[in-house]
Amino acid sequence: MQKGGVGEKMLNFLSKVVRFLRKCIFSVLSVGPVPAHVAFIMDGNRRYARQHNLKEGAGHDAGFSALMSMVTYGCELGIKYFTVYAFSIDNFKRRPEEVEYIMNLMLEKIELMRRKDSIVNRYGVRIHFSGNLQLLREPIRDAAKKLMAVTANNSNALLTLCVAYTSTNEIIQAIQKSCEEKWVENQEPGRAGCGPINLVEIEKQMDMGIAPD
Catalytically annotated residues? 43
Stretch that binds ligand NAG, among 6-14, 103-111, 148-156, 169-177 (CB under 6 A): 148-156
- Which DSSP helix (H) or strand (E) runs through 81? strand 81-88
Q: At what angle do helices 6-29 and 56-77 cross, to 10 degrees?
A: 50
Q: Cα–Cα–Cα angle for 109, 30, 158, nearest 5°?
A: 35
Q: Does 17 sit near ligand NAG (CB under 6 A)?
A: no
Site string for ligand NAG, 108-147 (x = CB under 6 A): ----------------------------------------
Contact status: 153 vs ligand NAG (CB under 6 A): yes
CA distances from 110 to 34, 48, 49, 80, 168 (A): 28, 22, 22, 20, 26
Whole-number Å distance between alpha carbons of 106 and 93: 17
The binder of ligand NAG chosen from 84, 86, 113, 150 (CB under 6 A): 150
- Choose between 60 and 114: whose C-beta lies nearer to ligand NAG: 114
Residue with smallest beta-carbon separation from ligand NAG: 153
How many helices (DSSP H) and strands (DSSP E) are in the chain? 8, 4
Q: Verify binding: residue 152, ligand NAG, rule CB under 6 A.
A: yes
Binding site for ligand NAG (CB under 6 A): 150, 152-153
